[in-house]
Amino acid sequence: MTILSNPSNYLANTEVLSDSCALAWDKKTIRKLVSRYPILLDNALSIAGMEKVAWLIGAYVSLSSDDAMGRVAHMLISLACGVGEEAHGGVEIHVGNEDLAAAANVTPFTVSRAMAKWQRKGILTKGRGKILLGKPELLVTG
């Protein structure tokens, strides 16, 4: 939001899931940097846009599914495609049960039950705040 020329309300917040470092610039400084290095604007827009679109598409698809398990499955697939990171054995998604439950419009208990079922079937591996999705194609049938 600091990059924008006109002041705007910031409608979101951020939560980090691992050790992180944050840098902050005032509007004048960041706009000078963006005019000097346009790639900064490209990066900011691509990161913000991709993450938001992935969550929105996932939420829309999951809410249009018939049952709770289907909503969770579609949300995981959308997140894997949008913000997942290639990892050994699949795609890693940094998301907790509460966030996944909110996005799929189900309870955290439903997410936990789905994760346990899919983990037993070898479709995914659940870790603290992350999921390794090894066989996404099996989510909709598993």
The per-residue pLDDT for range 95-124, each reduced to its tens digit, is 999 989 988 889 999 999 999 999 999 999
- With 0-12 / 13-18 / 19 or more C-beta atoms within 10 angstroms meaning exposed / middle / buried, residue 126 is middle
Per-residue pLDDT of 23-52, as tens digits, reads 777 888 888 988 899 888 887 777 666 667
What percent of the chain clears pLDDT 90, i.e. is strictly above it? Answer: 28
What letter would DSSP give residue 3?
T
Across residues 58-69, what is the average pLDDT? 70
Q: What is the pLDDT of residue 93?
A: 93
Amino acid at 75: M
Q: If 0-12 CB within 10 Å is exposed, 13-18 middle and 19+ buried, where does residue 114 land?
A: buried
Higher per-residue confidence, 97 vs 3: 97
Domains of the chain: 27-138 (1.10.10.10)
Task: Give the CA distances from residue 9 to residues 1, 28, 115, in Å, rounded to whole numbers and listed in that order.
Answer: 8, 17, 37
Confidence at 75, pLDDT banded by 50, 70, 90 = confident
